[in-house]
Structure 1
Amino acid sequence: MLTARFELRALCGHLFYLCLGLLLLLHPGEAYQKISDEKLKGLPRPGEDFDIHTGSLLSPILQTRVPGTPGHTAVLEHLTNFFRTSLPKWEIEFQNSTSKTPISHGKEVPFVNFIAYRDPPGVPKGDVGRLTLVAHYDSKIDPKGFIGAIDSAAPCAMIMHAVRSIDSALERKWAAMQEQGMDLSDEHQGVQVLFLDGEEAFLEWTATDSLYGARSLAEHWDKQVNPAMSTFKSPLSAISLFVLLDLLGAKKPTIQSYYPTTHWAYQNLGTLEKRLRSLDLMKSKKTPWFVDADKNAHQVVSLGGIQDDHLPFLARGVEILHLIDYAHFRGFPEVWHTALDDAEHLDMDTVKDWSVLMTAFAAEWMDLEDFLEHSEAPRQVEKIERGEDTQTVDEERRTEL
């Protein structure tokens, strides 16, 4: 990942969405209802699922997963099994492609993009815009045995936790609308997860040796046309926001805002972080992550950015929110692209805080305030993680009542 050199065609394709985004900037709060403190307190916090050795979500991803290798296949199966068993009402698709790499000696290397989505029941696919949460699941071939814990095993697990945490609320929301006789065809918002393949370069980062899966999917979706009279012309235009998570899981992340048209969404994340911290629901060091949150959209420099999986989508006019740990004074996290980017170097408080934050963001976006269940589970998990007896927790709760 290097400092981006944006091409004119990418900027031209973005002009229409710039105008649209400026309109959104006038009334960013109208996009969705703010989630209440009570519901923030009830959001599930990852527990044993994120154990680096035995956790059902994270640990299976913490292995080498170079495209075309057994580890890569195992991780793809893990992602697939998670949705099939934990989120059975989600639709699953795979987008396959092949490409020669600088080290494949003329042979085609297979790449598989994993796609999962949940739309309002009965609403035609072309009529649903989707909040799209994205990470890449492949790992670098060099250094040998590279795990890529922040790059991007942990971001994959964060997304899995977030969508699992809001799924039952989505179910309740849509069921309530149907019970009230409301036409779900007016519900134009779903959720989509993309686990992209082949983000990493095999030899040296270039326009052709990188972003294999993202380039293939963006091109494929650009050519795919929805039925006539659909609300959205193509799967690309149906992406309401492309939220890319990368290099997340190290201590004290620095997240910059790169695009004026999505700065309002960036600011909403910054506000949620502050609120979660004020409620003592984040356990990592109290250093603000969203360093541009106090800027206005005009102060965000759109010609900056980092080369990553969003670029082929950005070039086709998709709105991007890039969540990547990068600071001008230090660059990427110290473990980036080294053998030290392993499970043991994850800061687990930060990893779990990201998971809660992304859950809150998705819940707000999908307007789930009235459908989230208040739960004591997050408090129980925190007590267990500190080694306290859950019976003591129950006794404290009875005392408070």
Structure 2
Amino acid sequence: MADTTTSRAEPIEAWITGIGLATSLAEGLDAHWDALTERRVNVDTAAFAPYVVHPLAPLSFDKQIPKKGDQRQMEAWQRIGTYAAGLALESAGIKGNTEILSRMDMIVAAGGGERDLAVDSAVLNAEGYGTVPPSALNERLMNDLRPTLFLAQLSNLLAGNIAIVHGVTGSSRTFMGEEEAGVDAARIALARIAAGQSDIALIGAAQNGERKDLLMLYEFGDFNLKDNYAPVFARGPKGGFALGSGSAFLVIESKAHAEARGAKPYARLKNVVADQSRRRNAGDVTASLEKLWSKLGPRDGATAIITGATGAEPVTAEETAFLRNHANAPVRGTATPFGHVMEAQFPLGIALAALSLSRGALYPPNDPTGLEVEMGSTPDQIVVIGAGHWRGEGMALVEAVR
């Protein structure tokens, strides 16, 4: 009897061919590499005291968003993201290439829009005095809020603005869900390319961390780092994250598509895995990360870890326990130089991994606790870790292409 079974085709190889970074440290790849090598940190403890933030480095938005009208109708996080997306397209050599951009897929991880603080304050003050009729709230919302504010609250407006400004008009997806949204943006893009459903994709996220409403939101959960800055692994049992402003975008495409247009890879995106532990018992996050580590696939050669550890507790302590279990892999925490950029934290980690592999070195440690150590050899693979401050865990395996 003939064998009628068929073997499953090998997954299509995915290359990272474009990286766009605009953060509290700098814009562009060379400037970021210099800042990381020099162990620079841009942090502000005064502007939003007692909260610690990493403010955006100066950008000339005109370079990537030439129309002032486009800039005006965007909120700050959308401008930052649209800017970094343009950098990624430039890095990949496809900016302005309408043939590729018209079929390029886009997956954005996004939070919600910004509040109108003046209106919010007026409503709350009036309510506090107890002198307003029941209909007053609706009247204030209808009369005080400008119509464009409602549009700006839409999470998929970042993808919309990238489509308008840069002409990325293939399929578009926007994921919400804080850090895990960034994990899923990478996971779904890789899965589509590996299955032959997509040739090229733009993924990423952005955050404006210099927002009083956002700081208030996270203060309700007691997540903010207060008073004094400290590297992420040196914040002690109270912990907390310092919100950062910034954006990371990546161009990911099939090897065949990249080779056909003569593009060179920064690195290979080999695998992305995700989990969501219940976090009901001590050690749940550590166990989740161990499970993901086992699912990543073979790790041959010199391996390093870039983690988006937030600084929030107890999750950072549990992630630290995992990292100490794998002490043979040198660690770098992105929250130390960049702050916590929420949805963008995982794409940022992948971007730094690809940049490091393309330069044949892991950037220096910047941690007084001894958890981060020098890497004497050239990394062959870097594992990117994302453990959300409240929910969700993910890992990516990024490999050198030699």
Task: Say which one has the larger Rg.
Answer: 2
Q: Which has the higher contact order (CA 8 A, sep 6+)?
A: 1
Taking structure 1 as the reference length, the TM-score comes to: 0.29
Larger relative strand fraction:
2
Scaled by the length of structure 2, what TM-score is found?
A: 0.29
Which structure shows the higher helix fraction? 1
